[in-house]
Chains A and B, each alone.
Chain A
């Protein structure tokens, strides 16, 4: 209102276009400023909690002193990295991290695909629904409870599995205390928890398959096995490739929580992975710079793995993340 009265001094001819432009600008600005405002709190959160900590990465090249703070601490070049490469822990954590990841990739990656293909063959809607509801459920159980359940069932004295083994062989196995069992327990408890959930993506891809393909395959005399091979599998392949890339990119990122909770002094030789090592040397032992360096090394490897997997997928199948 105020603006329009001020503009009365201008002649009508001059006023019209500039007023229009001003209005248009004002309207656009009003719209966009609201959009920015809606984004603002989230942007602030990301800047504070995700981007600000990045300035601390310089610690990887410094010798941290609490007195001097991050900026004031003296540089020491690549000393922290050298120390990691030369430490006895280096090969151990690399071997364990990769070992668990590869084991996991071979078991946990194909099983959801198989489950989805089988579920897709079920004609009874009710049975399908029951299987889905049940297999998704463990996904929502917390890691602490999952590990607690493993302790209960694998206990050498009271666990149901050892009772069964004892009945058959007379011996018991201290699963959680034996280093050789760690990877298997880790991977298969993960399958129990997440196989059903992992199948959802593939089931969604399978519902998108053109039903004409099924009926023409049926008319051609294909049996169910052949239909799966020639119709179902090709149609979920792009999804599988994407999931594979995402998994490969996580090779060196074995989740902290479950490993940490399953760890004890007896299985440490196979259960120490990069993330738990970073936690222990950093927060428990207080070697801030060294821990930051190990973590940075891990991040770099992760990015290389992701980019490589993506390139490979692009070359082989034409499907990629970017």
Chain B
């Protein structure tokens, strides 16, 4: 008797609980989406209304002035072109090396694999640091050389781990043994069996490395001097951040006409949309691969 009473009481609590869960998560949805939505509607609204804070839930007026200004801005297209080149070449190199290197590390029959893994893992915690790396790269003539955007960080340890784990779980050792019986080599097996079975992990790698290159800022800041080599992120920094935060430049801006200032603000919205567009558009379709990457890594942990 008591027990069933308790049950009824606890089911009542459950209803309250359920409702609270939905309310909280809807709140979370709003907090995440609203800033993004606001950027989007502000980018097509009248600059005056945006500046006055009147644009809240719906666009006010309609203008493509911000986008027009962005399209006229030569710098951003140079940045776009460079980033596409760095992303395509860099990602190709990254994925190729990662897929190849992770394979031997996944084979139990390959004796030195543990030692080699440690050799890679150590670099996650110990490194030369900023200056020694800079000095080395300048000796290698990579400073102010666009190649630096492609060859540094050619393989990340994290991607190596998830790819190795993937091979281990999807391409059993026995499959290779069988192929080896027929006289197949590792090369042959890798190309004909392992790679075709690994499309999902290739996708994960392409996406992780690709997004990494697209958003890369640090390497460019440290090593590139020539604005013609600047990637997108370095270009948009000057539009988004540098003209507001530097107090000296703030003073300069206030001398300029107010309209100009508002257009500059408007340009920021369109810059964000234009630069994040490729990643955010592709993301919902590729989401399962991104998530797969994290969960494959978690199995190992």
The answer to whether A225 and B125 touch across the interface, beta carbons within 8 angstroms, is no
Chain A residues with CB under 8 A of B123: 46, 50-51
Chain B residues with CB under 8 A of A192: 31-32, 35
Q: How large is the interface on A (under 10, 10 to 19, 20 to 34, 35 or more residues)?
A: 35 or more
B154 interface residue, CB < 8 Å from A?
Answer: yes
A70, chain B: closest CB distance, angstroms:
7
The answer to whether A148 and B215 touch across the interface, beta carbons within 8 angstroms, is no
The answer to whether B25 and A151 touch across the interface, beta carbons within 8 angstroms, is no
B275 contacts which of A119, A137, A142 (Cβ < 8 Å)?
A142
Chain A residues with CB under 8 A of B233: 142, 144
The answer to whether A45 and B97 touch across the interface, beta carbons within 8 angstroms, is yes
A223 contacts which of B17, B36, B129, B180 (Cβ < 8 Å)?
B17
CA gap between A42 and B131 in the complex, in Å:
23
Chain B residues with CB under 8 A of A45: 97, 151, 154-155
Q: Is the interface of B mostly helix, strand, loop or mixed?
A: helix
Chain A residues with CB under 8 A of B125: 249, 299, 302-303, 306
Within 8 A of A (CB), among B24-41: 24-25, 28-29, 31-33, 35-36, 38-39
Chain A residues with CB under 8 A of B116: 39, 43
- From B67-75, B196-204, B286-294, give the one contacting chain A: B286-294
B261, chain A: closest CB distance, angstroms:
9
With A122-B25, A261-B237, A306-B125 as contacts: A292 and B132 at CB distance below 8 Å = yes
Which residues of A are interface residues toward B (Cβ below 8 A)? Answer: 30-32, 34-36, 38-39, 41-43, 45-46, 48-57, 59, 70, 115, 118-119, 121-123, 127, 130-138, 140-145, 147-149, 151-153, 155, 157-160, 162-164, 176-177, 192, 196-197, 200-201, 204-205, 221-226, 239, 242, 249, 256-257, 261, 264-266, 278-279, 282-283, 288, 291-292, 295-296, 299, 302-303, 306
Which residues of B are interface residues toward A (Cβ below 8 A)? Answer: 3, 6-7, 10-11, 13-14, 17-18, 21-22, 24-25, 28-29, 31-33, 35-36, 38-39, 50-53, 56, 97-98, 100-101, 103-105, 107, 110, 116, 119-120, 123, 125-136, 140, 151-155, 160, 180, 185-187, 190, 211, 214-215, 217-218, 222, 233, 236-237, 239-241, 244-247, 265, 268-269, 271-272, 275-276, 279-280, 283-284, 287, 290-291, 294-295, 298, 301
